[in-house]
Amino acid sequence: MQTVTETTERAAKYLLFRLGTETFGVDVMRVREIVGMQTVTVVTRAAGGVKGLINLRGKIVPVIDRRTDGTVTAKSSLIVMRDGALTVAMVVDEVMEITGTADGMRVLDAGEIR
C-alpha cells in the first residue's frame, strides 16, 4: 500500500522554465503541452498580463505573457497548461528541463498563472 508521502514524492516533478533571468517551475501534471511561438491575436482591453488568444487545433486559448521585455527569441515557447476546465498558454523565454526538486526555483501555482 502506498503512503501519502510516497505518492507525493512520485508526483512532485516540475517543468523548469526561464522568464528573463529568473527560473520558475510548474507541476508537470498541469502541463498539457509545449509548443513553439505562434501568432497571437491581440485582444483590446484584455486583463493585465493577457497578451491575446491563439487557435490551438481548433480551441481558442488565452495567452499570458509575464515577461518584462516581450522579446521573442529562437528559444521562446508557449507552455500550455490546464487547471480544471481552464486552459492557458504562457509565453516563456526558455523551457529548460523536468526535475524532481524545487531547489533554486519559484514554483507557480494555478492562481499565479492566470
- CATH (domain of 50): 2.40.50.180
Residue 107 lies in a domain: no
Residue 18 lies in a domain: yes
Residue 67 lies in a domain: yes
Residue 86 lies in a domain: yes
Residue 66 lies in a domain: yes
What's the pLDDT band for 66 if we cut at 50, 70, 90?
confident
Tally the domains of the chain: 1
Q: Which domain holds residue 45?
A: 4-100
Cα four-point dihedral sign 63, 67, 73, 77: negative
Q: For residues 34-57, give the mean pLDDT.
A: 91
Q: For residues 98-112, give the mean pLDDT.
A: 67
Inform me whether the pLDDT recorded for 95 exceeds 90: yes
Residue 114 lies in a domain: no
The proportion of the chain whose per-residue pLDDT surpasses 90, expressed as a percent, equals: 47
**Per-residue pLDDT, 6:** 43
Residue 111 lies in a domain: no
All three cell numbers of 114: 492566470
**Per-residue pLDDT, 99:** 86
Residue 94 lies in a domain: yes
